Amino acid sequence: MGDPHRRTILRLLGERDLSVQQIADTLPISRPAVSRHLRLLKEAGLVNEEARGTRRIYRLREHGADAVTDYLRQVWGERSRPR
């Protein structure tokens, strides 16, 4: 979550489902870079992908916010808990 592009991708996917190209059109990075970020987000359990024709559409997982919180707790431990 330290990368600003990944945070932006999560924000965009929180608004609607998007393809790699739609995300790349919004960010100042290449399609391959977007794909790498999406792969990492998928591996972290934050996004799902769905094949639609020749494209892959990405969306936040239903419990994506919970997954983000769990991920931050794993990375930062107790420091990530609200006080």
pLDDT one digit per residue (tens) for the chain, 83 residues: 578 999 899 989 989 999 999 999 999 999 999 999 999 999 988 999 999 999 999 999 877 667 667 766 777 775 545 55
Indicate the pTM of the whole model: 0.76
- Which tokens hold the place of 18? 């998007």
β-partners of residue 51 are 56
Question: CA 55 → CA 63, 65, 66, distances in Å?
Answer: 24, 25, 27
> For residues 17 and 58, is the Cβ–Cβ distance under 8 A?
yes
Structural domains in the chain plus CATH codes? 4-80 (1.10.10.10)
65 CB contacts (<8 Å, ≥6 apart)? none
